């Protein structure tokens, strides 16, 4: 986390041309800013944004199948295995094998996991609120709507 972002500490101006008209480019840049703002604002530093969202979904969907979780959050199964292992080692998540399908694994928060979640839930959403992001409340709402449309394409 060196430069906050496209910092204009530079003497020489840089011409980006139409690059800021690429949705992909701008989303990448926005993510970097957001990541940085997360670490500046979020109280707890043990979990990173992506990890916290995994805990979030397990919290809201106890006994969720690991595969379903991976698919929902667009995380590759191989990577999900490692993430879950870390959570289990950290004592946040329990794994159970359901009798109906003994190939699958179901995930639930432990008491410690639930405590952790309750404690940081509000802060996790608030981090990306108006403050520190440079958008007004209305603009933030607008941005969220557009991103939701882009991501869920009417599925949700």
Q: Report if residue 103 touches DNA, rule: CB under 7 A.
A: yes
In angstroms, rounded to a whole number, what is the distance separating the alpha carbons of residues 59 and 62? 6
First vs last C-alpha separation in the chain: 34
Taking contact as CB under 7 A, which single stretch among the options 17-25, 79-87, 118-126, 129-137 is the one that binds DNA? Answer: 79-87
* Residue 113 burial (10 A CB sphere; 0-12, 13-18, 19+): buried
In angstroms, rounded to a whole number, what is the distance separating the alpha carbons of residues 31 and 4? 12
Question: How many residues does the structure list for the chain?
Answer: 156
For a copy of itself, the closer of residues 25 and 112 by Cβ is: 25
Among 55, 58, 80, 109, binds DNA (CB under 7 A): 80
Q: Which SS3 state, helix, strand or coil, does residue 64 take? A: strand
As measured in angstroms, the least distance from the Cβ of 60 to DNA is 17
Q: Which does 46 bind (CB under 5 to 8 A by kind): DNA, a copy of itself, none?
A: none
Q: Report if residue 100 touches DNA, rule: CB under 7 A.
A: yes
Q: Report if residue 51 touches DNA, rule: CB under 7 A.
A: yes
As measured in angstroms, the least distance from the Cβ of 21 to DNA is 21
């Amino acid at each position: 986390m060196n430069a906050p972002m496209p910092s204009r500490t530079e003497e020489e101006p840089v011409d980006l041309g139409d690059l800021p008209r690429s949705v992909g480019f701008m989303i990448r840049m926005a993510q970097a800013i957001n990541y940085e703002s997360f670490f500046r604002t979020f109280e707890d530093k043990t979990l990173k944004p992506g990890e916290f969202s995994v805990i979030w979904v397990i919290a809201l969907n106890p006994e969720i199948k690991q595969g379903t979780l991976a698919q929902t959050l667009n995380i590759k199964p191989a990577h999900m295995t490692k993430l879950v292992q870390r959570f289990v080692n950290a004592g946040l998540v329990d794994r159970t094998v359901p009798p109906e399908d003994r190939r699958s694994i179901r995930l639930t928060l432990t008491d410690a996991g639930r405590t952790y979640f309750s404690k940081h839930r509000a802060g996790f959403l608030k981090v990306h609120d108006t403050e520190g992001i440079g958008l007004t409340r209305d603009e933030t709402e607008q941005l969220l709507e557009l991103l939701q449309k882009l991501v869920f394409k009417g599925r949700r």
